[in-house]
A = this chain, B = another copy of it.
């Protein structure tokens, strides 16, 4: 299956924009009904659009903001992109460097999202005395 690269790139930009304005419903609408999110990859998978919407609502509640780092990479039906998340945890503000992949279904919806990041990609979040 091959999707137009531009439609996958547009979806990534729509995702970042919807996240920016705190619209979890618009983010969830980019996903297939039975999509799976692994964020990070080794965490328990989040299954289905409703659970995914709730996941983004929790993320947005931290004040998280995304900033793309460089161009979106695309293959036949997968987009990969590097970005940073700026957010506030109970221990303080910080940044997480992440790479996401979006695997699309034939309708152009995200079927699987995988987020690559771990503790060594977290910077800041120190206790503010």
Residues of A within 8 A of B (CB): 2, 5-6, 9, 40-42, 69-71, 73-82, 97-99, 101, 116-121
A41 CB to closest chain B CB, in angstroms?
A: 4
Assess the A40–B117 pair: CB atoms within 8 A.
no
Assess the A116–B101 pair: CB atoms within 8 A.
yes
CA distance A120 to B75 in the complex (A): 9
Assess the B82–A70 pair: CB atoms within 8 A.
yes
Taking CB atoms, residues of chain B closer than 8 Å to A80 are 80, 99, 116
Q: CB within 8 A of A70: which of B42, B73, B74, B97? A: B97
Taking CB atoms, residues of chain B closer than 8 Å to A2 are 42
Q: Which residue of B lies closest to A98 (CB)?
A: B73
